[in-house]
Amino acid sequence: MLIKNRKSWELSGRDATPQALYQDRRTILKGMGLAGLAGIAASLHPLARRAALAVGSGLTYADGGHGTDEEKTPYRDVTGYNNYYEFGTGKLDPARYAGAMTTEPWSVKVEGEVENPGTYAVEDLVDFSKLIERVYRLRCVEAWSMVIPWIGVPLKDIITRLGPTSRAKFVQFETLARPSEMRGLSRRVLDWPYKEGLRIDEAMNPLTLMAVGLYGEVLPNQNGAPMRLVVPWKYGFKSIKSIVAIRFVEKQPTTAWLRSAPREYGFYSNVNPDVDHPRWSQRRERRIGEFLKRKTLMFNGYAEEVAHLYAGMDLKKNF
């Protein structure tokens, strides 16, 4: 008899308690006949499928293993309290102004050390018939955190299809920079467009997710529509939003925050309570919706799955 041992982040569907508001909304949508659009959309042409999903605001997905069984952060906070400097530096700015961003049509340029370069639609990269949900903690370097049920596919599935060559040691991602729709670009807070990067083995780790939705809904603009990265053991700014380019490169790529403030934001940016930000401690964090702070966990609580990636590394030097 084959016995499968679950990873610590692989909980069954019954272990997750969906947000009450979300459950009520899904019930209402089903009664109105809109939720059924998600199922119908699976048989449509990719572009028509996304249109149907957008109209119904629902995504069909499977249980992909949940990163935590902690209480989820309310949807209103997940979508209303964000860092997305392209729309402003205030936490409420993205929700106020991101609606101006056009997300259809959308294309992603794939280039560098890869066998299948080209320009792809989101549907060419993300298989909407194989979406999964994973509930991950998101830890911000500013010492606040959330618990979010993300919908997407493992990044490794996308990378495998693209076929990086043996020379590809890193993956660089780039965010949309459209001044006419992103008011924050008028301020030189960072060197636009926003860029981030991962080592290829980090990108291929099963936990790394390319997300297209949250709480069962398509991604709102302020959360990185139409597709964004989720790297749960790293600080939130590594989970780059609204991706328009993916580059496979041999040398460690430039990243936005590393270029802007190298003493404060290292390339790896793993959640490490023993490495303080120069202006504040990382030993404790405040979960959005809670008053008291809690202890920060090494690798944001995912050490069992990712610590091996950094064996032998000085994690204070390589912060």
Strands (E), the chain: 62-63, 107-112, 118-121, 132-139, 144-154, 170-175, 195-199, 209-214, 217-218, 228-230, 243-249, 284-287, 294-295
Tell me what pLDDT residue 58 has. Answer: 79
pTM: 0.85
Tell me what pLDDT residue 186 has. Answer: 96
- Name which residue leads in pLDDT, 267 or 48: 267
Residues 6+ apart with CB under 8 A from 148: 72, 73, 78, 135, 136, 138, 214, 215
Residue 39 has pLDDT above 90, yes or no: no
Reported confidence tier of residue 34, pLDDT bands at 50, 70, 90: very low
Are the C-beta atoms of 89 and 189 separated by less than 8 Å? yes
Residue 35 has pLDDT above 90, yes or no: no
> For the chain, which domains are there?
62-310 (3.90.420.10)
Tell me what pLDDT residue 301 has. Answer: 97
Residue 84 has pLDDT above 70, yes or no: yes
pLDDT one-digit tens code per residue, 167-191: 999 999 999 999 999 999 999 999 9
Which range, of 19-28, 81-90, 168-177, 221-230, averages the lowest pLDDT? 19-28
pLDDT one-digit tens code per residue, 111-159: 999 999 999 999 999 999 999 999 999 999 999 999 999 999 999 999 9
Reported confidence tier of residue 68, pLDDT bands at 50, 70, 90: confident
pLDDT above 90 as % of the chain: 80
Residues 6+ apart with CB under 8 A from 131: 59, 60, 61, 62, 151, 152, 153, 212, 213
Reported confidence tier of residue 57, pLDDT bands at 50, 70, 90: low
Strands (E), 224-309: 228-230, 243-249, 284-287, 294-295
- Residue whose C-alpha is closest to residue 123's, from 226, 220, 267, 6: 226
Residue 10 has pLDDT above 90, yes or no: no
CA–CA separation, 173 and 178 (whole Å): 16
